[in-house]
Amino acid sequence: MMSDPTTPAASTGISPTAKLSPGLPRAITPIGSSSGPELPYPLKIEGPVVKGFGRGSKELNIPTANIPVEGLSVGGREEIANGVYFGWAGLDLGQKGNKELAKSASGNVFPMVMSIGWNPFYKNTKRSVEVHIIHTFPTDFYGTHMKLLVLGYIRPELDYVSKEALIGDIKTDIEIALVSLERDRWHVGELGNEGRWVGEF
Ligand X SMILES: Nc1ncnc2c1ncn2[C@@H]1O[C@H](COP(=O)(O)OP(=O)(O)O)[C@@H](O)[C@H]1O
Ligand Y SMILES: Cc1cc2nc3c(=O)[nH]c(=O)nc-3n(C[C@H](O)[C@H](O)[C@H](O)COP(=O)(O)O)c2cc1C
Between CA 55 and CA 70 the distance in angstroms is 21
- Least distance from C-beta 131 to ligand Y, angstroms? 7
Between CA 190 and CA 177 the distance in angstroms is 17
The partner in contact with residue 97, picked from ligand X, ligand Y, none with C-beta cut-offs of 5 to 8 angstroms by kind, is none
The partner in contact with residue 78, picked from ligand X, ligand Y, none with C-beta cut-offs of 5 to 8 angstroms by kind, is none
The partner in contact with residue 148, picked from ligand Y, ligand X, none with C-beta cut-offs of 5 to 8 angstroms by kind, is none
The partner in contact with residue 172, picked from ligand Y, ligand X, none with C-beta cut-offs of 5 to 8 angstroms by kind, is none
Between CA 158 and CA 154 the distance in angstroms is 12
Which residues contact ligand X (rule: CB under 6 A)?
49, 51-54, 56-58, 63-66, 132-133, 135, 137, 140-142
Query: Phi/psi at 44 (nearest 5 deg)?
Result: -120, 135
R_g (Cα) of the chain, nearest Å = 17
Between CA 200 and CA 190 the distance in angstroms is 23
Three-state secondary structure of 125-160 = CCCEEEEEECCCCCCCCCCCEEEEEEEEEEECCCCC
Residue 130 known to be catalytic: yes
| Part of the chain binding ligand Y (CB under 6 A), chosen from 12-20, 94-102, 120-128, 183-191 | 120-128
Catalytic residue selected from 46, 70, 130, 190 = 130
Task: Please give the size of the binding site for ligand Y, defined by CB under 6 A.
Answer: 23
Between CA 171 and CA 5 the distance in angstroms is 19
Interface with ligand Y, residue 130, by CB under 6 A: yes
From the list 46, 78, 157, 200, which residue makes contact with ligand Y (rule: CB under 6 A)?
A: 157
Question: Which residues in this chain contact ligand Y in the complex, by CB under 6 A?
Answer: 52-56, 60, 64, 66, 84, 113, 115, 119-122, 128, 130, 132, 157-158, 166, 170, 173
Q: Hey, which residues are catalytic here?
A: 130
